[in-house]
Structure 1
Amino acid sequence: MVDKITAVIITFNPEVDLLIRQFNSLVNQVDQIIYVDNHSSIQFKEQLISDKIKFIFNNENLGLGKAQNQGINLAFKEGASHVILFDQDSIADQDLVKELINTEKQFVNNNIKVALIGPAIYNNYNNPPTIAKVVKTLGWNIIQEYLNKSVVEVAYCIASGSLISKEAFINVGDINEDLFIDALDLEWCLRAKSKGYKILQNPSAKIFHQLGNGSNDKILSHSTKREFYICRNNILLIKMKHIPLGYRIRKAVLTPLRPLKALMKFKLNYVFAGIKGILNGI
Structure 2
Amino acid sequence: MKTGVVVILYNPDFSHVAEVIKAFSAPEWDLVVVDNTAGADDRLSDPRFKYIHCGTNVGIAKAQNIGLKTLFDRGVEYAFLLDQDSLFTPTIAVELLQQFKTMEKSSSIAAIGPSIYCQFSDCVDQGVLQKGKKISESLKEVKQIIASGMLLSRHAFERVGEKENGLFIDGVDHEWCWRARAKGMTIYQSLSACMPHRQGDDRIKVCGITFKQGAPIRLYYQFRNVLILARRRYVPLYWKLRHVCAIPVRYIVNRFCFGQGHERGKYMRFGLKDGLKHRSGPIQPDKVVK
Q: Tell me the TM-score normalized by structure 1.
A: 0.87
Q: Secondary structure at the match of 1:121?
A: strand
**Partner in structure 2 of residue 196 of structure 1:** 184
Is 1:222 the counterpart of 2:214 in the alignment? yes
**Partner in structure 2 of residue 46 of structure 1:** 43
Amino acid at match of 1:113: S
Deviation at 1:133, TM superposition (A): 1.4
Identity %: 29
Would the aligned equivalents of 2:6 and 2:82 in 1 still touch at CA under 8 Å? yes
Q: In the TM superposition, what are the counterparts of 1:106-121 in structure 2 within 5 Å?
A: 106-110=102-106, 112-121=107-116
Runs of 4+ with deviation above 3 angstroms: 47-50, 123-126, 216-220
Q: In the TM superposition, what are the counterparts of 1:44-193 in structure 2 within 5 Å?
A: 45-46=42-43, 49-51=46-48, 53-110=49-106, 112-124=107-119, 130-135=122-127, 142-144=129-131, 149-193=137-181
**Partner in structure 1 of residue 279 of structure 2:** none
Find the aligned partners of 2:195 and 2:40 in 1 and give their Cα distance: 25
Structure 1 residues 70 and 257: CA distance shift in structure 2, 3 A = same
Provide structure 1 residue ranges, at least 5 long, that are not aligned to the other structure: 136-140
Find the aligned partners of 1:177 and 1:134 in 2 and give their Cα distance: 29
Query: 1:5 pairs with 3, 19, 26, which one?
Result: 3
Give the RMSD, CA atoms, in angstroms. Answer: 2.4
Query: 1:235 pairs with 227, 231, 244, which one?
Result: 227
Question: Which string of whole-angstrom CA distances, capped at 9 and with x for unpartnered residues, describes residues 144-191 of structure 1?
Answer: 48x994211111111011110000111001001111010101101111
Provide structure 2 residue ranges, at least 5 long, that are not aligned to the other structure: 277-290
Deviation at 1:28, TM superposition (A): 3.1
Q: Secondary structure at the match of 1:143?
A: coil
**Partner in structure 2 of residue 277 of structure 1:** 271
**Partner in structure 2 of residue 138 of structure 1:** none
Aligned length in residues: 269
